[in-house]
């Protein structure tokens, strides 16, 4: 919901120009859009984008007999990937008083803020799609879930080599390599530019990689080879045939609240978590309710803070409800609430916890009268003594792994100057953006999500 920018909001700017330090905004390294192939949809094509590829044929297992045609032709199958497009946008509204009285060029600042907003939303939406990828390595590959990654599983040579082995065995071509299937490699060399995969990760993972005790001298800074090949945006170096790109706009998964499973009636389950109380108007009976809460930073939008599943028994014999009071929590966040029950077959695991209410504002009370029906809850973290402070995803991409399908990537929309029917006195002007599209993983084998701990 946009809010008017009124004269009172800009009062401090009326007597002095804003100094540079006040204008500085966080330097965000947004890289995901540059790793997507662009697929432009035609108007009238509907909201679903379809990508089709022919799967590899089985090879023949017996030699041909002279003069005899094989009894059956080989079969081939199609693999279809679809994605439903989303439309996103935001806008700001300025009053005529602001435009007339503010010394600072407010329209230029508004344009920059909206551009920053749009870039973060697009990067986030691409990354959310990548987080749902099915090709995953947890830690050193000795564990199979996020909740079993220990604080010792920081990135190292062995972990990266396991990732690379997985990608190579799956036939995923490195970036710049052939986007089609098998090709013979020339005896005199290699495909130009096909030696490396690309890994996108946060600064904590980069810090782990570049420690001498970790990299064993195999890390090469980008400056040492930049004259030989074009660099990717924010590329910092290469390690074990993987080129690393750093971003500071990537989720870091941390535990929200405490690690106590049972919650007494009326109690909160840790810092910045809601107070839960029972009521009588709902469909819950004497069975246990399970719930999980996640928190999003409103500047980022990722479900980064994740509670463990908690439980509480209904106090009513045939009907019951639960109120979740989000009052008094830290500003700047919204919450998602996931619910299931024993009666409905729930087990209190991520697989059965379903979204009940999304984007709950601080200060809101949500009354839950039945089980959640939305998306499955995100995976939680280990909550024992050897739990990592945070889990850091790393995205490793080969060629043609990811695409952005849409009608358009970004449009800027500005209301005209002067009087209109809706604004007869020309007191308001709006400027905004919107884009219509969505990221899609074209081939799951060409992208791998690695999740690791960090020493930083």
How far apart are alpha carbons 228 and 56 in whole angstroms?
A: 35
Strands of 224-380, DSSP E: 235-239, 242-246, 254-255, 275-279, 288-297, 303-306, 310-313, 321-325, 333-341, 354-361, 365-368
Q: Higher pLDDT residue, 13 or 179?
A: 179
* Residue 417 CB partners (closer than 8 Å, separation 6+): 426, 429
Which stretch, 37-46, 317-326, 444-453, has highest mean pLDDT? 444-453
- Residue recorded with tokens 């094509």: 45
pLDDT by residue (tens digit) across 85-113? 888 888 888 887 766 666 567 777 787 88
pLDDT by residue (tens digit) across 388-447? 999 999 999 998 888 888 876 777 788 888 888 888 887 888 888 888 888 989 889 999
| pTM for this predicted structure | 0.84
> What is residue 216's predicted lDDT score, i.e. its pLDDT?
66
Per-residue burial over 148-168, b = 16 or more CB atoms within 10 Å of its CB, e = otherwise: ebbeebbbbeebbebbbebbe
Q: How many CB atoms lie within 10 A of CB 5?
A: 21
Whether 375 and 356 have beta carbons less than 8 Å apart is answered as: no
How far apart are alpha carbons 387 and 456 in whole angstroms?
A: 14
- Checking if the pLDDT of 190 tops 50, the result is no
> What is residue 226's predicted lDDT score, i.e. its pLDDT?
65
Instruction: Compute the mean pLDDT over every residue in the chain, rounded to the nearest whole number.
Output: 81
> What is residue 96's predicted lDDT score, i.e. its pLDDT?
74
- Residue recorded with tokens 């220990």: 150
Residue 255's pLDDT band, with cuts at 50, 70 and 90, is: very high
Q: Which 8-state DSSP code applies to residue 232?
A: P
Residue 8's pLDDT band, with cuts at 50, 70 and 90, is: low
- Checking if the pLDDT of 22 tops 60, the result is no
Whether 257 and 271 have beta carbons less than 8 Å apart is answered as: yes
Q: Higher pLDDT residue, 11 or 315?
A: 315
Element (H, E) at 197: strand 197-201
Phi, psi of 163 (to 5 degrees): -60, -45
DSSP codes joined into one string, 376-435 = BPPP----STT--S-BEEEEEE-TT-EEEEEEEEEEEEEPPSS--SS-TT--EEEEEEEE
How far apart are alpha carbons 38 and 41 in whole angstroms?
A: 10
- Average pLDDT, stretch 306-327? 79
pLDDT by residue (tens digit) across 139-155? 999 999 999 999 999 99
pLDDT by residue (tens digit) across 202-241? 999 999 988 877 766 777 887 777 666 667 777 888 888 8
- Checking if the pLDDT of 292 tops 60, the result is yes
How many residues can be counted in the chain?
456
Residue 192's pLDDT band, with cuts at 50, 70 and 90, is: very low
- Checking if the pLDDT of 176 tops 90, the result is no
Phi, psi of 372 (to 5 degrees): -70, 150
Q: Which of 6-10, 169-173, 283-287, 395-399 has the lowest mean pLDDT?
A: 6-10
Q: Higher pLDDT residue, 71 or 254?
A: 254
> What is residue 103's predicted lDDT score, i.e. its pLDDT?
58
- Average pLDDT, stretch 178-188? 49
Residue 277, strand partner residues: 323
pLDDT by residue (tens digit) across 328-346? 999 999 999 999 877 667 7
Burial of 37 (0-12, 13-18, 19+ CB in 10 A): middle
How far does Cα 243 stand from its chain's mean position? 21
> What is residue 343's predicted lDDT score, i.e. its pLDDT?
65
- Checking if the pLDDT of 11 tops 60, the result is no
Q: Which 8-state DSSP code applies to residue 283?
A: S
How far apart are alpha carbons 256 and 260 in whole angstroms?
A: 12
> What is residue 188's predicted lDDT score, i.e. its pLDDT?
41
Whether 1 and 96 have beta carbons less than 8 Å apart is answered as: no
Q: What percent of the chain has pLDDT over 70?
A: 80
Whether 72 and 417 have beta carbons less than 8 Å apart is answered as: no
> What is residue 86's predicted lDDT score, i.e. its pLDDT?
87
> What is residue 276's predicted lDDT score, i.e. its pLDDT?
87
> What is residue 334's predicted lDDT score, i.e. its pLDDT?
97
Phi, psi of 85 (to 5 degrees): -75, 150
How far apart are alpha carbons 308 and 269 in whole angstroms?
A: 10
Whether 392 and 252 have beta carbons less than 8 Å apart is answered as: yes
- Residue recorded with tokens 């990508």: 51
Phi, psi of 443 (to 5 degrees): -150, 115
> What is residue 393's predicted lDDT score, i.e. its pLDDT?
97
Residue 21's pLDDT band, with cuts at 50, 70 and 90, is: very low
> What is residue 128's predicted lDDT score, i.e. its pLDDT?
94
pLDDT by residue (tens digit) across 35-85? 888 877 777 777 787 777 777 777 778 888 888 888 877 777 777 777 788
Phi, psi of 452 (to 5 degrees): -140, 165
> What is residue 181's predicted lDDT score, i.e. its pLDDT?
52
pLDDT by residue (tens digit) across 341-396? 776 677 778 888 999 999 999 999 998 887 888 899 999 998 888 899 999 999 99
- Checking if the pLDDT of 183 tops 70, the result is no
């Amino acid at each position: 919901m946009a809010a008017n920018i009124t004269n009172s909001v800009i009062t401090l700017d009326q007597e002095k120009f804003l100094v540079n330090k006040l204008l500085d905004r966080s330097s965000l390294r947004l890289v995901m859009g540059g790793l997507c192939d662009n697929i432009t949809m035609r108007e009238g094509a509907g909201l679903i984008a379809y990508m089709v590829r022919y799967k590899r044929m089985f090879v023949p297992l017996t030699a041909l007999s002279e003069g005899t045609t094989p009894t059956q032709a080989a079969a081939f199958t199609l693999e279809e990937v679809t994605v439903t497009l989303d439309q996103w946008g935001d806008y700001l509204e300025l009053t005529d008083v602001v435009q007339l009285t503010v010394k600072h060029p407010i329209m230029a600042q508004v344009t920059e803020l909206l551009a920053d907003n749009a870039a973060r939303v697009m990067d986030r939406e691409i990354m959310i799609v990548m987080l749902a990828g099915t090709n995953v390595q947890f830690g050193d590959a000795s564990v199979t879930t996020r909740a079993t990654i220990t604080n010792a599983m920081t990135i190292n040579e062995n972990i990266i080599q396991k990732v690379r082995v997985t990608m190579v065995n799956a036939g995923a071509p490195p970036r710049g390599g052939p986007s089609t299937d098998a090709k013979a490699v020339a005896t005199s060399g290699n495909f130009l530019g096909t030696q490396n995969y690309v890994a996108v990760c946060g600064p904590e993972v980069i810090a782990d990689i570049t420690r001498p005790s970790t990299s064993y001298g195999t890390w090469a800074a980008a400056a040492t080879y930049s004259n030989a090949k074009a660099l990717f945006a924010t590329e910092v170096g290469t390690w074990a045939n993987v080129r690393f790109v750093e971003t500071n706009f990537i989720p870091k998964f941390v535990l929200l609240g405490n690690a106590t499973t049972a919650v007494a009636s009326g109690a909160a389950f840790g810092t910045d978590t809601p107070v839960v109380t029972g009521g009588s108007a709902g469909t819950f009976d004497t069975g246990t309710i399970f719930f999980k809460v996640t928190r999003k930073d409103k500047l980022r939008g990722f479900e980064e803070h994740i509670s463990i599943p908690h439980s509480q028994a209904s106090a009513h014999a045939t009907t019951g409800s639960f109120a979740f009071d989000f009052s008094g929590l830290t500003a700047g966040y919204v919450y998602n609430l996931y619910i299931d029950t024993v009666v409905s077959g729930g087990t209190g695991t991520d697989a059965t916890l379903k979204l009940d209410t999304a984007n709950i504002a601080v200060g809101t009370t949500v009354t839950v009268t039945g089980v959640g029906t939305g998306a499955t809850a995100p995976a939680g973290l280990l909550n024992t003594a050897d739990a990592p402070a945070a889990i850091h995803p790393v995205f490793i991409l080969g060629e043609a792994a990811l695409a952005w399908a849409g009608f358009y990537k970004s449009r800027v929309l500005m209301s005209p100057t002067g009087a209109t029917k809706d604004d007869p006195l020309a007191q308001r002007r709006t400027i905004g953006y919107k884009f219509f599209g969505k990221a899609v993983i074209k081939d799951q084998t060409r992208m791998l999500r690695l999740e690791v701990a960090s020493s930083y």
